[in-house]
Amino acid sequence: MDERAAAFRREAADRYGLSIEVEQFPEGTETAAEAADVVGCTLAQIASSLVFVADGTPVVVVTSGANRVDEGRLAAFLDATDVRMASTGEVTEATGYSVGGVPPFCHDGDPAVLVDETLLDHETVWAAAGTPETLFPVAPDRLVEAANATPVEVTG
């Protein structure tokens, strides 16, 4: 297993008592569609962790791979005047992970985490485990709990 994914797995166990089964996919899972294909699940079951910057503050939005975040809705929820996607450098700075491998929790920083409410409709979702080649299955309620996330409707 990739060392970054192994470190994520250990941290999830240490911080949250989660026993995570990380699966590695050498063909890559950088996009939600690629992840769904290699896992064999629906696009809606991919939990994509996206980083936005709202009035200068990073926030992680974990959304279903089938949805797109509506920046206007996100701004309204956060009561922010300026919301944009984070740059690759800002993603790494806020979470400690690179784009395509950001998990929904165990971030190096302490960004707020929001979860797309539609993910809660599934028994299991798949999220990045620290690299663009690794994923792990998790029950959405455990994801919300570990991430100390707020379920929201920010997709359009």
- What is the pLDDT, as a whole number, of residue 102? 96
Q: Which domains does the chain have, with CATH numbers?
A: 3-152 (3.90.960.10)
- What is the pLDDT, as a whole number, of residue 118? 94
- What is the pLDDT, as a whole number, of residue 68? 94
Q: Show Cβ contacts of residue 133 under 8 Å, excluding neighbours closer than 6 positions.
A: 2, 5, 24, 25, 26, 27, 28, 29, 101
Token pair of 2 as six digits: 């990739």
- What is the pLDDT, as a whole number, of residue 64? 95
Confidence check: pLDDT of 156 > 80? no
How confident is the model over 6-32, as pLDDT tens digits? 999 999 999 999 999 999 988 777 788
- What is the pLDDT, as a whole number, of residue 86? 98
How confident is the model over 78-129, as pLDDT tens digits? 999 999 999 999 999 999 999 989 999 999 989 999 999 999 999 999 999 9
- What is the pLDDT, as a whole number, of residue 34? 85
Token pair of 113 as six digits: 């985490």
Q: Nearest 10 degrees: CA dihedral of 45, 46, 52, 54?
A: 10
- What is the pLDDT, as a whole number, of residue 87? 97
